[in-house]
Homo-oligomer: A and B are copies of this chain.
Amino acid sequence: MSGPIVALTGGVGGAKLARGLVARLAPEDLHFVVNVGDDFEHLGLHVSPDLDTLLYTLSGESDTERGWGRRGESWQFLDALRGYDGPDWFALGDRDLATHVLRTHALAEGARLTEVTARLATALGVRHAMLPVTDDPLRTVIETGGEALPFQHYFVRERCAPAVTGFRFDGAERARCTPEVRAALADPDLAGVVLCPSNPFVSIDPILAVAELRAALAACAAPIIAVSPIIGGDAVKGPTAKMMDELGVPRSAAGVAGHYGARSGGGLLDGFVLDATDAALQQDLETTGLAVRVEQTLMRDLDDRIALADAVLAFLASLRTS
């Protein structure tokens, strides 16, 4: 490698590529900048779903069968909570609770979210930097025409049922990047930035809503690419495709590419990774000013993740020399 990579990521989809990247890059060559827009307070506990998904994925603690949470999880706390008529719509597992209790306690004692995250990650053997984009409050709110919903209420309690009309990122205008994120993006050796295949609206956009982060990306000399979370007009997981329909964004990889935009047209990206299923879109996307690479982007196992990571790194290398 010529220098470190920064990967912007949300939860499950992004974490899969993240897992591939850590298999290829040393800790000093890879920094994750992670969405905190879906963080929330539940029963007084600070829950950071995307940080936790990344933590559990990178440490081998994730439940790959269920697709979220920790492996070997149990639900005795939740059962006892129901015995008290407590709110059970957000499934806090017994093992997962250790993460939230320790995080909440450390934050209350004055630690930054970045510091707490580093402690938890180190304890579970994760050596690559998992950096919340900001230590300031930043909360994604889903606008639905009717009631505006905090992200987890929309995502978990309402199971993404309400039609989305827009998004708000409360706190974004006051949120600063962390010093760690700032340093990672200001590194003169930075070899590239990759937007992982996470939901553009609620996983990546809250990161980009931090003005300082957005400005750092605009100023960075390294290539910036995104991997499409849409394959063949559908999302692998989650409400991305449904949201695109509701927002009137074309439900395709091209819709995602258009959402981020090409740098040459005032947007964010130098390059875009399409799934082979969507190879037909390549030419159209190239006319928008994007370099396009067609790959197998569906990640069913670790080999897929590493292969896609290799492709991403090769794409960035090619963009640096072009």
Which residues on A are within 8 Å of B, measured CB to CB? 43-45, 70, 72-74, 76-77, 79-81, 83-86, 93-99, 101-102, 104-105, 108, 119-120, 123-124
Q: Once the chains bind, are A95 and B124 in contact (CB under 8 Å)?
A: no
Chain B residues whose CB sits within 8 angstroms of the CB of A86 once the complex forms: 98, 102
Q: Once the chains bind, are A123 and B84 in contact (CB under 8 Å)?
A: yes
Q: Once the chains bind, are A44 and B101 in contact (CB under 8 Å)?
A: yes
Residue from the list B77, B93, B102 in contact with A84, Cβ < 8 A: B102
8 closest A-B pairs by beta carbon, nearest first, are A80-B98, A76-B94, A44-B105, A80-B95, A94-B94, A84-B123, A81-B98, A43-B105
The complex places the Cα of A119 from the Cα of B93 at a distance, in Å, of 23
Chain B residues whose CB sits within 8 angstroms of the CB of A94 once the complex forms: 74, 76-77, 80, 94, 97
The complex places the Cα of A72 from the Cα of B76 at a distance, in Å, of 9
Copies in the complex: 2
Q: Once the chains bind, are B123 and A95 in contact (CB under 8 Å)?
A: no
Chain B residues whose CB sits within 8 angstroms of the CB of A95 once the complex forms: 76-77, 79-80
A88 to chain B, nearest CB (A): 10
Looking at A81, A99, A101, A124, the one whose CB has the most chain B CB atoms below 10 A away is A101
Chain B residues whose CB sits within 8 angstroms of the CB of A72 once the complex forms: 76
The complex places the Cα of A239 from the Cα of B94 at a distance, in Å, of 32
Q: Once the chains bind, are A98 and B74 in contact (CB under 8 Å)?
A: no
Q: Once the chains bind, are B77 and A120 in contact (CB under 8 Å)?
A: no
Q: Once the chains bind, are A70 and B74 in contact (CB under 8 Å)?
A: no
The complex places the Cα of A93 from the Cα of B97 at a distance, in Å, of 11
Apart from A81-B102, A83-B98, A84-B119, 17 more pairs, CB < 8 Å: A43-B101, A43-B102, A44-B105, A44-B108, A73-B76, A74-B74, A76-B76, A76-B93, A76-B94, A77-B94, A77-B101, A80-B94, A80-B96, A84-B98, A84-B102, A84-B120, A86-B98
A120 to chain B, nearest CB (A): 6
Query: Taking CB as reference atom, which chain B residue is nearest A120?
Result: B84
A116 to chain B, nearest CB (A): 11
The complex places the Cα of A106 from the Cα of B108 at a distance, in Å, of 16
Residue from the list B79, B80, B124 in contact with A99, Cβ < 8 A: B80
The complex places the Cα of A93 from the Cα of B85 at a distance, in Å, of 19
Chain B residues whose CB sits within 8 angstroms of the CB of A83 once the complex forms: 98, 123-124
